[in-house]
Structure formats: structure tokens, C-alpha cells
A and B are shown apart, each in its own frame.
Chain A
Amino acid sequence: MKAVGFVMLLAGWLLVLAAIVLFTSPALRTAFILAGIAVEALGMILAFRSHHIPREEKG
């Protein structure tokens, strides 16, 4: 789960890079950059959730 979160962060960033390189249309480029950032947001959520402390380790 931890690894998936970080892979999604990287994947989102690569999507942003690809959008900059591949698209010349500003609208399409913006849409793909925003999509990449959405993937990163999901990755952040996963990364945070995977670092929750298990109940038995608390205290």
C-alpha cells in the first residue's frame, strides 16, 4: 500500500511531464496536467493512509 501511494505520486508527475511535452493545445495540456495532479492527490491520500499506526502498536 505504501509503495502504491508513492508509485501513484510518480505516475501523476510523469503524466504532467507528458502533457507538457506531447500537447500543444493549451486546453488539452491543461486538462492532462490537472489529471496528473488528481492522480498525485490520490497518491498522497494512499501514502497518508498507509502510514496510519496500527491499533496494537499504539500506546
Chain B
Amino acid sequence: MPETKFSEATTIACLFFIFLVPLAAAGISIMNVGLGRSRSAGHMMMASLCALAVAGLAYFVCGFAWQGYIGSPAHSLTFSGKSWNWIGAEPFLFRNLSFDGSAVSLAALFQIFCVGFAALIPLGSGADRWRLRASCLCAGLLACCTYPLFAHWVWGGGWLAQLGANYGIGRGFLDAGGASSIQVLGGLTALAVTWILGPRRGKYSADGMAPAIPGHNSVLVLFGCVLALVGWIGINSAGAILFTGAEASGSALVAINTLLAASASALTAAFITKIRFGKPDASLTANGWVGGLVASSASCAFVSPAEAVVIGSIAGTVITFSIEWLELRMEVDDPGGAISVHAVGGIWGLLALSVFGQYQRPVMNVAGEALPAALIGIAPGQWLAQLIGVATLLGFVLPLTYGLNRLLNRFYPFRVSVEGERQGMDLHELGAGAYPEFVTHGDEFLPR
């Protein structure tokens, strides 16, 4: 176990930021509720809570053991004389972990929140048709398999982080705030789940039309954006401290970049929808806001505020068109927009780091030590390292998560019955609606 310990001030700041992280999960949960139908609102919130619980427990049992932290014991393969660190080798159940303020204990705390957050992302895509137990099983798979594996490669001193040290490719794959291991991984799981579930009944008609099924509560959606911002400041700041060696004093820049990227992205989405549809669209603007937060994650500690605005503006444009393209052209029914917001937005954020990233201070290497000062400000080949990371997400994580979930679907079908979908997930799976007082009784309108 590495003995890395931060200063007391950094530890306190890091703990403060980590305690903000659950607010991001709360924000995304109520956004998903608002973007779905009213007859599935209670089910969506229940699924969010269960996903958080299952992911946390699965991560405690084996997830952290396979993820590890920079410098922790790990399994490695050797190719051409170079070590490929591919999976952590910690004992299960946090057994080797001492909660004494060490970097590894802070990382474990941070990750147990992050894995729950990643497990929430696919729920938005499976809204109105994904059975509760199936979504819990999917969350368990993510927390004990795909997330720890990829997060180890990026944040645990794995082979992606070592690309710089082993092969001279930039500084290795960089991701300060989890754009890859949380957002893109969650977004690709959402894509796999959407493919397996198929579209909601009535979403695509035989004549090629795709009628919009609007969310039932735009107030919840927009309030979720504000909650998500607070949580995201926590994720980006804590991630930058834990995984890139940023100083706690640099958190002001991280928070400003996070806010600016989200603002630019949301306003761009509002502007585009105003131009195209005559009025700004609330749900697309909200998706733009979260997309900006996602895009800010990778580079939050490495770019200037002006560059964060550019990153956010491009994210808002890409996400707005991506949502429409997926829904209308690719026939992917994603009620929460999770695929575009988290997967597409995250990939843009990872690539933006190589375009805009400035390295004014040392970044930690795989052994947790600061890189030599000579490397400050230069990163030849960083774009290639980022591309390799994206290629790994699309070429390894997507087939893996699709295969595992498809296998799960064979034994425990994901999709609710036709009757259940018609009735609504609340009544069918929970036995009670989220808004019982809103029920319209037909006899109230009968002439007396």
C-alpha cells in the first residue's frame, strides 16, 4: 500500500469536495425522473436509490480490490520488456485499507460515490421500460467489473496511465475528473442497455415518424442541473487532487472551469434550439448544461477559463445534434439523453484536453511522484494518448458491457411486459403511483 499522504489542508479540502459528489448523483437522478413519464417517476427514483446501493456494495466487495490506486499492488503482463499493469490486486472488502487520511483511503471514499454515480447514468436511457431488478443487476456488473477495470487503467496506475512512461506517448492518458471512467463508461453502458431493451412502445411508427414523448416535469429537470453543478465541482476538484496531483489551492480554477463549461454549453443548446424550433427547449438546454459539465471533467485542471468556455460551447452544439441524430436517424430511444450527454460529451472532453491542455505544473506519474520540471508545459503526443483511451472505451468497454448485459438479459429479461409498460412502471413494479392525487377519475366528468 503506498504511503502517500497529503498535507492536512489538502486532506480537508479533498474530503469536503468528496462529500459534494453525492449531489451530482442526486441531480442526475431527479433529472431522469423529470425526463421520464409521470407513471414511472417513483420507479425511476427507486431504481436510482437501488443502483447506488448495489454499486456501493459491489464496489466494497470486489470493485476496489480490482481497481486499486496509484502504486498499489497490481497484476502486470510484460510485452517487449514493458510492463502492462492491467488489474489491481488488493484484498477484497477494503481489508488492507487504513482510514487514516492517506491518499488511498480518500481515493476509496471518492470512488465508492463515483461508481454509484456511473451506475445511475444508464437508468435515464432505460426509463419507462427497464425492470427494477435488472437495473440493479446491471449496476452490480458495472461496479464489480467494467468500472474497476477501466478506472484501474486510468486512475490506478494502469497501462493507459503508463503510456507516457513506457512508450513516450504524451503524459499517458489523462483524465482529471472522470470523463472516461465515470461518464463515457456510464454512457456506453446506457447505449448497450438501450440496444438490448429496444425503444418504448409507440416511439417509432411504421411510417417512419418518431413522435416526441416529452418529460413530465421540467422543473425537476432544471433543478437537477443546479444540484449536478455542485456535485460536479466536487468530482472535478477531488479527482484533480487525487489523480493528477493538483494542489487544493488550484480548486478555484477547477470550479470556475466547471461552471463556465456548463454555462457555455447550456446557452449554446438554448440558442440552437431557439433558432431551430422558435423557442428554447428546456430539456435540451438541461442536457446541454450536463453535457458541459461532462466535457469539463477531463481537462478542468489543465485549461484556462476562456478555453473552458470554448470546450463548453462545442459540447453544447455536439450534444444537441447528437441527441436528435441518435433518436431520429439511429432509432436509439434514449429518454434521458444519457448516451449523447455522457458518452459523446465525455469523448469530446477527453479529446479537448489534448487540444487545449496546458501543463503549467507537474503531473503525477504512475508511481505517484511529480514528473520532472523539464516536462512542464510540453506534452508531445498527448493527443495520441487521449485517442488510445477513447479507442479503448469504444473497442473494449462497449463490447464488454454489451456482452455482459446481453448475457444477463438471457437469464433475467430486462424489459417489462407489454401490460407493465402500458400500466406504468410505478403501478406495475411498485404497486403505487408517484403522484396518486393526480389520478384523473373518469366518473368526475360524467353528467350528474
A residues touching B (Cβ–Cβ < 8 Å)? 6, 9-10, 12-14, 16, 20-22, 26, 29-30, 33-34, 36-37, 40, 43-44, 47-48, 51-53, 55-56, 58-59
Q: List 15 A-B contacts (CB under 8 A).
A: A6-B402, A9-B395, A9-B398, A13-B391, A13-B392, A16-B391, A16-B392, A16-B395, A33-B384, A34-B387, A36-B395, A48-B332, A58-B205, A59-B202, A59-B204
Residues of B within 8 A of A30 (CB): 384
Contact of B206 among A20, A21, A36, A59 (CB under 8 A): A59
Q: How many Å lie between the Cα of A58 and that of B82 in the bound state?
A: 52
Residues of A within 8 A of B198 (CB): 53
Shortest C-beta distance, A24 to chain B (Å), equals 9
Contact of B391 among A22, A36, A55 (CB under 8 A): A36
How many residues on chain B are close to A (CB under 8 Å)? 30
Q: A51-B331, A53-B199 are in contact. Are A12 and B395 (CB under 8 A)?
A: yes
In the complex, which residues 52-109 of chain B have their Cβ closer than 8 Å to any Cβ of chain A? Answer: 79-80, 82
Shortest C-beta distance, A47 to chain B (Å), equals 8
Question: B277 within 8 Å of A by Cβ?
Answer: no
Shortest C-beta distance, A31 to chain B (Å), equals 11
In the complex, which residues 368-403 of chain B have their Cβ closer than 8 Å to any Cβ of chain A? Answer: 381, 384, 387-388, 390-392, 394-396, 398-399, 402-403
Q: A16-B391, A36-B391, A37-B387 are in contact. Are A53 and B204 (CB under 8 A)?
A: yes
Question: B195 within 8 Å of A by Cβ?
Answer: yes
Residue with the greatest number of chain B CB neighbours at <10 A, chosen from A34, A44, A48? A48
Inter-chain contact total with CB atoms closer than 8 Å: 73
Shortest C-beta distance, A4 to chain B (Å), equals 12
On whether the beta carbons of A9 and B331 are closer than 8 Å, the reply is: no
On whether the beta carbons of B395 and A58 are closer than 8 Å, the reply is: no
Shortest C-beta distance, A43 to chain B (Å), equals 8
Q: A33-B388, A53-B331 are in contact. Are A10 and B395 (CB under 8 A)?
A: yes
Residues of A within 8 A of B395 (CB): 9-10, 12-14, 16, 36, 40, 43
Q: How many Å lie between the Cα of A51 and that of B332 in the bound state?
A: 8
Residues of B within 8 A of A12 (CB): 391, 394-395
On whether the beta carbons of B399 and A40 are closer than 8 Å, the reply is: no
Question: B338 within 8 Å of A by Cβ?
Answer: no
Q: How many Å lie between the Cα of A9 and that of B403 in the bound state?
A: 13
Question: B330 within 8 Å of A by Cβ?
Answer: yes
Question: B167 within 8 Å of A by Cβ?
Answer: yes
Question: B163 within 8 Å of A by Cβ?
Answer: yes
B residues touching A (Cβ–Cβ < 8 Å)? 79-80, 82, 163, 167, 169, 195, 198-199, 202, 204-206, 330-332, 381, 384, 387-388, 390-392, 394-396, 398-399, 402-403
Q: A21-B79, A53-B198, A53-B199 are in contact. Are A6 and B391 (CB under 8 A)?
A: no
Residues of B within 8 A of A56 (CB): 206
Residues of B within 8 A of A10 (CB): 395-396, 399
Residues of B within 8 A of A9 (CB): 394-395, 398-399
Q: How many Å lie between the Cα of A47 and that of B188 in the bound state?
A: 13
Shortest C-beta distance, A37 to chain B (Å), equals 5
Q: How many Å lie between the Cα of A13 and that of B393 in the bound state?
A: 9
Residues of B within 8 A of A48 (CB): 330, 332
Shortest C-beta distance, A56 to chain B (Å), equals 8
On whether the beta carbons of B205 and A59 are closer than 8 Å, the reply is: yes
Residues of A within 8 A of B169 (CB): 20
Residues of B within 8 A of A14 (CB): 395
Shortest C-beta distance, B407 to chain A (Å), equals 13
Given contact pairs A36-B391, A48-B332, A53-B198, enumerate 16 new A-B contacts (beta carbons under 8 Å). Answer: A6-B398, A6-B403, A9-B399, A10-B395, A12-B391, A12-B394, A13-B391, A13-B394, A21-B80, A22-B80, A33-B384, A33-B387, A40-B395, A48-B330, A58-B205, A59-B205
Shortest C-beta distance, B129 to chain A (Å), equals 14
Shortest C-beta distance, A28 to chain B (Å), equals 12
**CB-nearest residue of chain A relative to B400?**
A10
Residues of A within 8 A of B80 (CB): 21-22
Q: How many Å lie between the Cα of A15 and that of B261 in the bound state?
A: 34
Contact of A26 among B205, B381, B398 (CB under 8 A): B381
